[in-house]
Structures are given as structure tokens and as C-alpha cells.
Structure 1
Amino acid sequence: MSQLELLKKVVDTLDEAGIEYMLTGAMVSAAQGVPRLTHDIDVVVDLRENDVGSLLNAFKQPDYYLSEESIRQGLADGGSFNLVEPSTGNKVDFWLLTDEPFDRSRFSRRYREEFKGVGLEVSSPEDTILMKLKWAEDLGGSEKQFIDALRVYEVQFEVIEQEYLSTWAERLGVADSLDRVRTGAKPVRG
């Protein structure tokens, strides 16, 4: 199964189970900015205890590896869990939606987008930029994450809500990185 086919299966499963989600990470930054190869799919999910069975039923061994224990641990600690397709190595990182103000804000701003023929919920360009900058800082200055943020900023420049971006960059401690993005950007207009 291709990465796109896996994404479609994940989205269809979440939609059918009524589990709210938001695609994030490199796949979204590539769609909103400049395409690049990514090895995993990142999805924020608003998962509840009673949703676990839907995921386990949709992604059974040996075609998939999805640990009930890791899902329940993720629910308990507000962390994450993974789905792996062993035959291809394709991986989905599921991040549990938290009650942190930024997490709630970005989840409420997600929107429906068609990506390579698949309709899905994605993070806003502003929130993609902010998370990429946060990851860049958390990873000790990851240039790849910073470049992703810069490219999204350049491509989405005309629609970005600058005040929202500035406010959350300050709150998240990435205002200096956002300033670097703004000064280094060559916005795509038109």
C-alpha cells in the first residue's frame, strides 16, 4: 500500500468512527509550502477510550502493527502512538489532542482540504509554521523544520493571519525564529 493509500484508509477509518482529527507535520507543510519527501504521516486525534476498538478493528495484524497497549498508554499520558505497515515501512504517528491552549486553538482552526484526491482535515498554515518552529527549537535548531516553516510562510504569505502568528509565536517562545522566517522569506505573490 502506498503512503497515500494508507493516509486514505486512516482518514476513512477516523471519519467512519466519528473521531475528529487534523493532519499535521511534513505532509501538510509540503502541501502548504514546497513538496519534499516524508517518511511518516502525523495526525492529531481527539481520541476517547471507546474509540480504541474502531482503530484496532481497522488495522489488524499481520497487515498492520498497532498496539492496544500503546494506544491506552497514549490516552493515559496525553502522548502518542504509532501505526506501522510492516510490508512497506509506512508509519502514522498519532498525537493525542491535549487541553493545552495552543493545541486546542490549532485544532479549532483546522480546515478541510483536498490532498492528492483525498479530502481531509489539515492544520492552518499559521499553525503549521508555529509547530515547525517549535519542533525546530525542541530539536536543537533543526534546519529542516525551520526551512519547512519558511517555505509555508513564503507560499501562504498572502493569506497568513500575521497577528495570530505573532501572538502564538510569543506565547510558544519561538518569536525569534519567526523573526528569522519573516526576514529571510521571499513571499510568493499572486
Structure 2
Amino acid sequence: MADVQVEQNRAFGGVIDIFEATGIEYVIWGGVAAIAYGEPRFTRDMDVVVRLRYSEADTLARLLEETGYSVSVEAIRDAVDRYFYFNAIHLETGIKVDFYVAPRDPIYAWAFKHRRMKNFDEFRQAAYMPPESVILTKLQAYQESSSTRHLDDVESILRVSGSELDLAYVHREAARIGVFGTWRELLERSGLGRRRMGSGGEA
């Protein structure tokens, strides 16, 4: 497991270094973000949400290739055009990083505004999606895929970081995007449903 962690740090760290050097806005998402706010679990790959312009595609592709990743500049351009995703493979380890171009949605705007800098490894910090946004996107992913892994991640975040969450914001956004029933069930199961929700949810 230690060897896997070393490989992941190499594969993911190179991407973080590129973003920090270029100023391209990003937040770590998905399983890696869920682990940052919840309980440890294994995840092989990393998901990143990026604010990327079409004019930055060539530079990003070049830097990724120079750092040891296989990536398609055409896929990057297509992702920017369609608010879609592309991936890069770290050639030394075979580890994949998925890059999702941030859609025009309030959840992602809030996520970038409230992103958190956290220690990624012993050498660097990285920008993470805040836990409220991780929860909301996990609930959306469950609605689309029915994979219970997403619910497990939400429950893990509630157990570890529940006292720090802006529950009023999550409550409101869960209702807006149509996942309120699932959210309420998980919240009640965690015991946090009894906690009084304030106005919260700074826009």
C-alpha cells in the first residue's frame, strides 16, 4: 500500500505542480477529495475540476507531456468546448487523472469560491473542493449511476467532518438539484439531522 501511495503522489503531484505554475484554477474532486474530509479508502485515480480556456489547451497538453503524461490536445479542446472531460495517463505508473471542465452551475461556482488548500503530501499543498460540494456532487453521481460508493463517501464525510459543514447550504442545494430525499436520509442516519440549521450558505 505504501508503494501505491508513492506512485499516486508522483502521478498526482505532477498535475498539481503544473496547475500551480500556470495559475489554471482547479479543485481536487471525487474519491481523493472524499478521503480528505472522510475516512481512508483506496482510490486508484484522481478527478480534478478545472476552469480552462480554449487558448490554454496547447500549453496544458505540452506541460503534461513534458512531465511524463500521455494526453490528447484534441480531447482537451473538445472538453473545453462541451464542458466535458479528458484524461491524462502518467506513463511511469499507469495512473489516470480525469479532468472535468467546470460547467456553468452554481454548485461549481460555490466550490471554486470556497475551495480549501490542504496538505497533499509532504512536499506540496493542493486546492480541494469543499466538503459541502463533494457531498452534493456525490449525491448527483449516485442519482445518475446508483453506485452506493457515492453514498458511502457522503456518510464518511458526515462522520468525520459533519460538525464543520454548512448544512443549510447543502440542504438548500440538495433540494434545488433534486437529491433532497437521499440527502435527508443520510443526514438523519448520521444523527446530524437533529442539529439546527442556521441561515448559512454564503453565496
Equivalent residue for 1:124? 130
5+ long unaligned stretches in structure 2: 1-5, 193-203
TM-score, with structure 1 as normaliser: 0.91
Of 129, 134, 143, which aligns to 1:137? 143
Q: TM-score, normalised by structure 2?
A: 0.86
Tell me which amino acid in the other structure corresponds to 1:123.
M
Q: 2:168 — aligned with what? A: 163
User: Which of residues 71, 76, 79 is equivalent to 1:66?
Assistant: 71
> Which of residues 112, 116, 130 in structure 2 aligns to 1:107?
112
CA RMSD of aligned residues (A): 1.7
SS in 2 for 1:2: helix
Q: What is the distance in 2 between the residues matched to 1:70 and 1:50? A: 14
Comparing 53-62 with 88-97, greater Cα deviation is found at 53-62
8 Å CA contact 1:29, 1:152 repeated in 2? yes
Whether the 8 Å CA contact 1:154–1:186 is kept in 2: the answer is: no
CA–CA distance in 2 between the matches of 1:69 and 1:123? 27
**In 2, Cα distance between the equivalents of 1:82 and 1:75?**
13
One-letter amino acid of the counterpart of residue 126, structure 1:
E
Taking the TM superposition and a 5 Å limit, the aligned residue runs for 1:31-42 are: 31-42=36-47
The aligned runs of 1:93-104 (5 Å cut-off) are 93-104=98-109
Match of 1:57 among 58, 62, 77: 62
Q: Which runs of 5+ in 1 are unaligned?
A: none
Amino acid at match of 1:6: A
Runs (4+) of structure 1 exceeding 4 A deviation are: none
Residues 17, 51 of structure 1: 8 Å contact kept: no
Q: 1:39 Cα deviation (Å)?
A: 1.6
Q: Structure 2: which amino acid aligns with 1:136?
A: Y
Amino acid at match of 2:170: L
Moved more, 163-172 or 79-88: 79-88
- TM-fit CA distance, 1:137: 1.1
Q: Deviations over 1:31-70 (max 9, x none)?
A: 1101111121111111112222322222227942100110
Bigger shift: 50-59 or 170-179? 50-59
- Equivalences, count: 186
**Identical aligned residues as a percent:** 28
